[in-house]
Structure formats: C-alpha cells, structure tokens
C-alpha cells in the first residue's frame, strides 16, 4: 500500500493489517515497474490513470535509492512508461540518470575476471543487465549496450555448468574471490535471466543469448542439478526452488508468476517452448 508521501508499506498480516512503516526498498522499485507496465498496456484508462499517480509519487524515492536493484527496477518502469509515451523529456532524463548510475557502479566494481556491478552476486541479478538493455532502447548509446552485454555474459558464464543453467544459490550467494553457492536455487532468478536473454537476443541477434534462454527455460522442466521438474503441472503453479535435499514444495506467488511469464516470453520471441 502506498503512503501519502509516495513510499510503500510492504508487510500485511492475515487480517489485512499493515505491520510495517512506509519505507524505500526493492518493493518501491517493483511497484514503479508494475505501474509503468500498466501504463504501457491495453488496460482500461482508469487503471492507467491510477498507475500514473502511483508512479509519479513513487519515482523520486526510486531514483534516489542506494540499492542497485531498486534503481534497476525503477529504470525498467521508466522504460515501460517511455515505451508508451516519449513526450515527457523529464522522464527520459531520469532514465538516462539511472543508466549512468548503473554504468558508474559497473566501472567502479569490475576487475579482471569480474565484470559485475557489485562485489557480490545475490538475487535477481539479471535485472541489472536488463535495465541497461532497456535503457539502450530509450537512449541508443553504444556504451550502455556494451556494458549490458559484458555484464550479462559474465553472469551467464558463472551460472552455466555442464550445459545447464545453475542460478546462484541463496545460501551464501557468490562473493568475488569465492565460489558460487549451489543451493537454494530460486525461480525468480531464472525468470530474470529468461527475460534478459530474450531481450538481448532481440537487440543483438547473438545466438549465445538464445542458447542461454533455452537453458534457463529448461531449468523449470528438469534440466537442472537435481533433474527435477520445478513447474507443477497438477496445479499450474511453480515450486519455490531447488534445495540440496530436492524440491522446495512451497508454491509462492513470486515463483508461480516467474514460470508463466517465462513461457509467454518463449512463445512471443521464439514461437515455441
């Protein structure tokens, strides 16, 4: 729920009582992204107008966040909105500003063998690269595209093993100089790679992105380190990931949404799954 100052509450109990203070975090970037997607859709005008109000009140908080993921989500939201309406020059300047911040962090943190924005790979990593691919669509600057490709190719290099997509596990993540954690693997990370590689392929035509896309999509269907199907055909939902012991049988909303979005992208971009 959005507060009057534009920030968001993020926690609610079963009685629908808000249990936290309004704050700025990844959730505000995701809300901006969602609002932008609504505005760039065929939904009724009333819903679009509501989304615009949410977007405009939240944008100042998303722009000034210290979280790279919040910046990336906000940038993705700006890309959605600008895709439907490029007449607002201020929005374009905001998009350029966020792209510059991501480029700056990439240059500051990269080193030999480490082409990344931070010292650590954690969750939803591909969104940082995706934000730059989307910014390139708006701004058209080669440096933005080059950095998007460099970062994505690095991510793909550390999440590919024996011909399979192996997302960074959340039990330790991957710190520079260390080893990537193998478990637990989460659908949200795989979905992010699917969206990003499909866009990278669309913009560059490079076959490595199509191959990476297919590896990641295969993860849902058993092409993974446990040879287990993460998609649940009996419910249409998706399990919450792969652990050392096997499947995490919880079926959370975030995981469930990641799967159908991935399938839709597969059909839209490649005509098959």
Q: pLDDT tens for residues 174-232?
A: 999 999 999 999 999 999 999 999 999 999 999 999 999 999 999 999 999 999 999 98
Question: CA 197 to CA 209: how far, in whole Å?
Answer: 5
Q: Are residues 156 and 258 in the same domain?
A: yes
Is the pLDDT reported for residue 5 higher than 90? no
Instruction: Provide the percentage of residues in the chain whose pLDDT is more than 70.
Output: 93
Please provide residue 243's backbone torsions phi and psi, each rounded to the nearest 5 degrees: -110, 175
Residue 99 lies in a domain: no
Terminal-to-terminal C-alpha distance of the chain: 36
Q: What is the mean pLDDT of the chain?
A: 91
Do 208 and 264 sit in the same domain of this protein? yes
Q: Are residues 50 and 144 in the same domain?
A: no
Give 150-195 as a DSSP string: HHHHHHHHHSEETTEE-PPPTTT-EETTS------B-HHHHHHHHH
Strands 164-165 vs 120-121: parallel, antiparallel or unpaired: unpaired
Q: What is the CATH number of the domain that holds 246?
A: 1.50.10.20
Q: Does residue 22 register a pLDDT over 60? A: no
pTM of the prediction? 0.92
Region 9-25: what's the mean pLDDT? 68
In terms of residue numbers, what domain contains 160? 111-270
Same domain, 133 and 262: yes
Residue 203 tokens, joined? 């913009």
126 with 261, same domain: the answer is: yes
Of the ranges 8-12, 167-171, 229-233, which one carries the lowest mean pLDDT score?
8-12
In a shared domain, residues 144 and 27:
no
pLDDT at 87: 77
Lowest mean pLDDT among 38-52, 107-121, 136-150, 259-273: 259-273
Peptide bond into 184 cis (omega under 30): yes
Q: Please tell me whether residues 173 and 240 are part of one structural domain.
A: yes
**Who contacts 223 (Cβ-Cβ below 8 Å, separation ≥6)?**
164, 165, 215
Domain assignment present for residue 255? The answer is yes
Query: Does residue 233 fall inside a structural domain?
Result: yes
Assess whether pLDDT exceeds 90 at residue 146.
yes
Task: Give the Cα separation of 135 and 71 in Å (integer).
Answer: 12
> Looking at the structure, do residues 173 and 48 belong to the same domain, yes or no?
no
210/266 same-domain check: yes
Over residues 32-69, the pLDDT tens digits come to 999 999 999 999 999 999 999 999 999 998 888 889 99
Residues 6+ apart with CB under 8 A from 209: 152, 197, 198, 200, 201
Decide if 216 is inside a domain. yes
Out of 87, 120, 148, pick the residue that ends a domain: 87
In a domain, 161, yes or no: yes
Number of domains in the chain: 2
**Domain presence at residue 97:** no
Task: Let me know if residue 211 belongs to a domain.
Answer: yes
Are residues 135 and 54 part of one domain?
no
**pLDDT for residue 199:** 96
In this prediction, residue 101 carries a pLDDT of 96
Both 63 and 117 in one domain: the answer is no
Whether residues 119 and 234 share a domain: the answer is yes
Asked whether residue 84 carries a pLDDT value surpassing 70, the answer given is yes
């Amino acid at each position: 729920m959005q507060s009057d100052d534009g920030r968001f509450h993020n926690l609610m109990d079963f009685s629908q009582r808000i249990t936290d203070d309004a704050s700025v975090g990844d959730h505000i970037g995701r809300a901006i992204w969602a609002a932008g997607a609504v505005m760039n859709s065929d939904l009724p005008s009333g819903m679009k107008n509501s989304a615009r109000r949410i977007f405009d009140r939240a944008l100042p908080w998303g722009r000034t966040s210290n979280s790279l993921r919040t910046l990336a989500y906000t940038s993705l939201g700006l890309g959605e909105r600008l895709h439907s309406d490029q007449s607002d020059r201020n929005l374009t300047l905001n998009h350029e500003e966020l792209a510059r911040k991501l480029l700056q962090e990439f240059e500051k943190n990269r080193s030999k063998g480490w082409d990344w924005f931070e010292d650590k790979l954690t969750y939803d990593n591909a969104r940082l690269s995706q934000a730059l691919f989307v910014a390139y669509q708006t701004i058209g600057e080669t440096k933005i595209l080059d950095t998007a490709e460099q970062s994505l190719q690095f991510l793909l290099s550390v999440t590919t093993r024996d011909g399979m997509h192996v997302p960074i596990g959340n039990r330790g993540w991957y710190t520079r100089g260390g080893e990537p954690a193998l478990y637990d693997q989460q659908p949200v990370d795989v979905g992010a790679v699917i969206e990003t590689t499909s866009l990278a392929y669309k913009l560059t035509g490079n076959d490595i992105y199509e191959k990476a896309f297919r590896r990641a999509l295969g993860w849902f269907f058993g092409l993974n380190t446990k040879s287990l199907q993460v998609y649940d055909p009996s419910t249409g939902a998706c399990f919450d990931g792969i652990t050392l012991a096997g499947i995490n049988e919880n079926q959370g909303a975030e995981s469930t949404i990641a799967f159908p979005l991935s399938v839709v992208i597969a059909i839209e971009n490649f005509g098959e799954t």
